[in-house]
Amino acid sequence: MAMRVEPRLTIAEQMSRNLAFRGRPLAVKFRTLAGNLLRASEAVGKSLEEIQALNLRVDGFRKRAFLPLQADQAAPVLKISNSSLITPEMIDIPGGIFKMGSAESEDELPIRQVRISAFRLGRYEVTNEEFKNYLVATGQLVPELVADPSKARHPVVNVSWQEAVHYCKWAGKRLPTKAEGEYAARGTDGRSFPWGNEWDPSKATYNPGSTTLVDAHPEGKSPFGILDLFGNVWEWRYDWYAYEDNPNDLVDPKGPKTGDHKVLHGPLNWRGACRNNALPGFRDLNIGFRVAEDLK
């Protein structure tokens, strides 16, 4: 049966329909993907210092400004076969303790020592080829971009959080948590970027609206060998978004039990601790995901 596709909304339509600030229509400050897309669109070709200055300017919009939404109801579980699964390449991440968070932004606090259990993480973001395999196997429509053979090894985009979860269940995986993603990117030494502490634009894809091969920047891999934890596309995380994390959640934190928005991590973050958020049903050409699984 063909999948019903929600009508695509522009960012402006998404905000006007779903967001409010202290009970009034959103007209002033907000923290959404829109501000970060603006940030990234102006950041192409700039130095790290220029990007940081741009971040500070756009940070004036980075406030909690969300209206609780009823839209994140669990989608029905599809009863399907995964006999034709193309298995994503997984990397074992050893357990360890790392310093999570930063003092660079209020919503990256608190800084604390967090213990992460061993797990597996996709070496790269889920590709169009892999997602197409899932859509065909489950009898869903294959979008033109996903079917494009020249983009087969690019990350799949325009996928909502719910759709990413469906893929993960079908593949026998799950979405990584925010803590797992930050740990995989920063390692136990708390580095600023997956490749170290020095900004190097040659080690990541930083071009909003455009993607590259998922293995285009092997020199930008994390301490554990994970690619594109900085760059290419935003990635959905399992967690509900909270402006500040629970300081007492120190072992395999999974975020709040409920919420309105899900955490995003990806190319518009110039620190490993930085994150964004969006409605679970939101889709965008800059949003994709990668898979994780528990080590048994």
Q: Which DSSP category does 125 fall into? A: P
Domains of the chain: 84-294 (3.90.1580.10)
pLDDT for 198: 80
C-alpha pair distances (Å), 205 with each of 49, 155, 286: 18, 12, 12
* Band (108; pLDDT cuts 50, 70, 90): low
Q: Are 286 and 209 spatial neighbours (Cβ–Cβ below 8 Å)?
A: yes
Q: pLDDT per residue over 237-260, tens digit each?
A: 999 998 777 888 889 999 999 999
Neighbours of 83 (CB within 10 A): 6
Please name the helix (run of DSSP H) or strand (run of DSSP E) that holds residue 248, with its range, or none.
none
Q: Using CA atoms, how far apart are residues 242 and 246, in angstroms rounded to an integer?
A: 9
Considering only CA atoms, which of 75, 225, 202, 205 is closest in space to residue 138? 75
Q: Using CA atoms, how far apart are residues 104 and 207, in angstroms rounded to an integer?
A: 23
Decide: pTM greater than 0.85: no
Q: Using CA atoms, how far apart are residues 101 and 105, in angstroms rounded to an integer?
A: 9
**Residue 40 falls in which region: left (phi positive, over 0), alpha (psi -120 to 50) or beta:** alpha
Contacts of 112 (CB under 8 A, 6+ apart): 99, 100, 101, 247, 250
Most confident range, picked from 11-20, 63-72, 94-103, 205-214: 94-103
pLDDT for 30: 36
Q: Using CA atoms, how far apart are residues 241 and 262, in angstroms rounded to an integer?
A: 5
* Band (132; pLDDT cuts 50, 70, 90): very high
Considering only CA atoms, which of 288, 121, 283 is closest in space to residue 205? 288
Q: Cα torsion for 262, 267, 268, 271, to the nearest 10°? A: 90
Considering only CA atoms, which of 222, 184, 198 is closest in space to residue 100? 184
Contacts of 17 (CB under 8 A, 6+ apart): 9
Q: pLDDT per residue over 181-236, tens digit each?
A: 999 998 998 887 888 878 777 788 776 668 999 998 889 889 999 998 888 899 99
pLDDT for 63: 26
pLDDT for 109: 67
Q: pLDDT per residue over 65-90, tens digit each?
A: 222 223 333 333 343 444 455 778 99
Which of the two residues, 271 and 283, has the higher pLDDT score? 283
Q: What is the mean pLDDT of residues 125-147?
A: 95
Q: Using CA atoms, how far apart are residues 253 and 244, in angstroms rounded to an integer?
A: 13
Instruction: Quote the tokens at residue 152.
Output: 């087969």
User: What single-letter amino acid sits at 49?
Assistant: E
Neighbours of 189 (CB within 10 A): 10
Kindly tell me if the per-residue pLDDT of 2 is higher than 80: no
